[in-house]
Amino acid sequence: MTRIKPTREECRIIRNCAERSAGYRKVEICPSTKCNLKYDRGAHFNILFVTDEPTNWNDTDLADNAYEWKDFTKGIELKDGAGIFDFYVYGPMGHWKELQTNVTAYYDGGKLVRVDGTCDGTMWKAA
């Protein structure tokens, strides 16, 4: 298990994808924790720590999405250099914000390699 701090560029990429997917310039991005539906493995930001199905994580469910963007940016745990992080994207900013979309960030080799939007498919991919 490795703990890294996402780079400014990785955070900018994820935020940009979230804004484009939501269709708003300013959004609130809340990292979620997932839990396994069959086994008690606790809840984790990195889906790879709780799933047995890393290609679709159908064996997981939302545990909590009440975390803040800073909970992600201050550091994440990777499993063998890899991670899958699901973000709930709310907008527009203000008193009555609503869930607009989800974006999912994929890490491999300790670096961001892809960001997918729920209805947008792959929105960014490392060269």
User: What is residue 93's predicted lDDT score, i.e. its pLDDT?
Assistant: 66
Domain count, the chain: 1
Mean pLDDT of all residues belonging to the chain: 94
What residue numbers bound the domain in which 115 lies?
Answer: 2-125
Per residue, the 3-state secondary structure of 39-80, as one string, reads: CCCCEECCHHHCCCCCCCCCCEEEEECCCCHHHHHCCEEEEC
Q: Residue 115: beta bridge partners?
A: 105, 124
User: What percent of the chain lies above the pLDDT cut of 90?
Assistant: 88
Section 118-127 average pLDDT? 95
> Over the stretch 84-122, which tens digit does the pLDDT of each residue have?
999 999 987 666 778 999 999 999 999 999 999 999 999
- If phi > 0 it is left, if psi is from -120 to 50 it is alpha, else beta; for residue 81 that is left
